[in-house]
Amino acid sequence: MTASRAPAEPTVREFEATVDRVDGREVVLDETYFYPESGGQPADRGTLDGHLVDDVFERDGEVVHLLDDDAGGSLAPGDEVTGLIDDAFRTYCARAHTASHVLYGAARRIADDLGYAGFDISPEKVRVDLTTAEPLGDDELIELERLANRAVWDSLPVSWATYPADEARDIDGIAFNTKTEEGAMSGGDAVRVVTVGGGADAGGNPAADPDAAPWDVAACGGTHVENTAEIGPISVLDRSNPGEGVTRVEFAVGPTAIDEIGAVHGAALDAATTLDARVGDLPDAAARLRDEVDRLETELRDARGELLAARLRDLPTADVDGAHWAIGTVDDADPNELREPATAAVEADGDLDALAAVGTGDAPFVVVAADGGDDAGVDAGDAVSAVTDEFGGGGGGGPTFAQGGGLDADPETVAAWLRER
């Protein structure tokens, strides 16, 4: 059985090892510092005696190095080989993995009944899934980012150690579940525990404040930095709710985080320029703009309603089957917009029993409003049914208002039919 030494010695980038087994592109060594994909952290990149390593994974207790070409012709059991690990990618993964622990520690300080539901590192961002009693709001997301970056600034030590499983489970506040256990079990009944903050550094040396409570404690088999200051800026990118009781937080570290912070700052400056305000005054300026937009939308809606009402009042009238109707076509309107002005037009004109407006455009429709009186006997629903029986489509409504759509006819033809029926 071979296990990766990467979690215990994450700073190693070059090592010598002996080939145990070769099977085509698969190579197993007597020991390795390549990290195999596990628990949300991707496999290391690098080379093995000049062969590009495509993937690293565990299978049947062995760490398998999958090369980009067939190594059977150049490597054999007993060969001494040199492994080179991609420094930039390993460093990014270690920073990102520790950042996920820092973020979880921050979440514990702002959310009740918090649980851990997994994480994933990609080259552009990191995902942490949290179980929360209530979804995190915008204010909580901002505070999450602030607390995480404060933990980075405070240069908290990061340490790791192996404990018996029962002892590990008894550690106060430890994040320990089926997802976090993946990769954390060191073999047998031992569990690897990573602590951010607290009384010791990664080398077991006393911290500045030995009595300080840890920022975060979790069962974890990943690679980590030795101090939170190595993480750099953390920028929260997005928040979603992929399942019942689960809040997903996506964030960036390193260059992606720096670019995101710059983009957000640039957007804020552009918005401030547009609103003629300082960046710090943007919330008040945006609120005033929203109030102004609401006011203008209300005025526009009222003006449009008055315009539609005027159009309906100007529709030509005709006597149809003993009832006095206003019938015609209306441009640039939809059925819902016409309900109120059509009903109001019938109610305001004591001589009018009903009104029918046929909408023009690519999808002709008809609305009918009736006064509901017994004398003329006009039923808006029956009138619309008659139109759809004649010209296709469908619709419905009650005695005082109904509408139909999908008419297969020219609007003027429908209006003429209503006048002449």
pLDDT in tens, 356-381: 999 887 788 999 999 875 565 789 99
Predicted local distance difference test score (pLDDT) of residue 150: 95
Record the tokens describing residue 118, joined without a space.
Answer: 């997994």
- Contact in structure between 239 and 139 (CB atoms under 8 Å): no
> Averaging pLDDT over each range in 1-5, 114-118, 140-144, 241-245, which range is the top one?
140-144
Predicted local distance difference test score (pLDDT) of residue 185: 53
Predicted local distance difference test score (pLDDT) of residue 202: 42
Per-residue pLDDT band for 203 (boundaries 50, 70, 90) equals: very low
Predicted local distance difference test score (pLDDT) of residue 212: 67
Share of the chain above pLDDT 70, in %: 92
Mean pLDDT to the nearest integer, 66-93: 91
pLDDT one-digit tens code per residue, 167-181? 888 888 888 764 545
Cα-Cα-Cα-Cα dihedral sign, residues 168, 169, 174, 178: positive
Going by C-alpha positions, the residue among 149, 140, 152 that lies closest to residue 109 is: 140
pTM of the predicted protein model: 0.72
Predicted local distance difference test score (pLDDT) of residue 90: 97
pLDDT one-digit tens code per residue, 373-420? 556 578 999 999 999 999 998 988 899 999 999 988 889 999 999 988
Which pairing describes strands 354-359 and 323-330: parallel, antiparallel, or unpaired?
parallel
Beta bridge partners of 346: none
pLDDT one-digit tens code per residue, 130-175? 988 888 889 999 999 999 999 999 999 999 999 998 888 888 888 8
Per-residue pLDDT band for 182 (boundaries 50, 70, 90) equals: low
Predicted local distance difference test score (pLDDT) of residue 373: 59
Predicted local distance difference test score (pLDDT) of residue 72: 63
Per-residue pLDDT band for 204 (boundaries 50, 70, 90) equals: very low
Per-residue pLDDT band for 187 (boundaries 50, 70, 90) equals: low
Beta bridge partners of 326: 317, 355
Predicted local distance difference test score (pLDDT) of residue 181: 52
Instruction: Could you please state the CATH topology (level 3) that the domain comprising 14-85 is classified under.
Output: Elongation Factor Tu (Ef-tu); domain 3 (2.40.30)
- Contact in structure between 226 and 194 (CB atoms under 8 Å): no
Burial bucket for residue 360 (CB in 10 Å: 0-12, 13-18, 19+): middle
Q: Residue 247 region, left (φ>0) first, then alpha (ψ -120 to 50), else beta?
A: beta
User: Could you give the count of Cα atoms lying within 13 Å of 145 in the half-sphere of its Cβ?
Assistant: 20
Q: Evaluate whether the domain defined by 92-267 bears CATH number 3.40.50.300.
A: no
Per-residue pLDDT band for 190 (boundaries 50, 70, 90) equals: confident
Where do the domains of the chain lie?
A: 14-85, 92-267, 308-420
- Contact in structure between 73 and 105 (CB atoms under 8 Å): no
Tally of residues, the chain: 421
pLDDT one-digit tens code per residue, 227-254? 999 999 999 999 998 888 899 999 999 8
Mean pLDDT to the nearest integer, 61-69: 92
Summary mean pLDDT of the chain: 88
Instruction: Could you please state the CATH topology (level 3) that the domain comprising 308-420 is classified under.
Output: Diaminopimelate Epimerase; Chain A, domain 1 (3.10.310)
Predicted local distance difference test score (pLDDT) of residue 393: 87
Which of 22-26, 71-75, 272-276 is predicted least confidently? 71-75
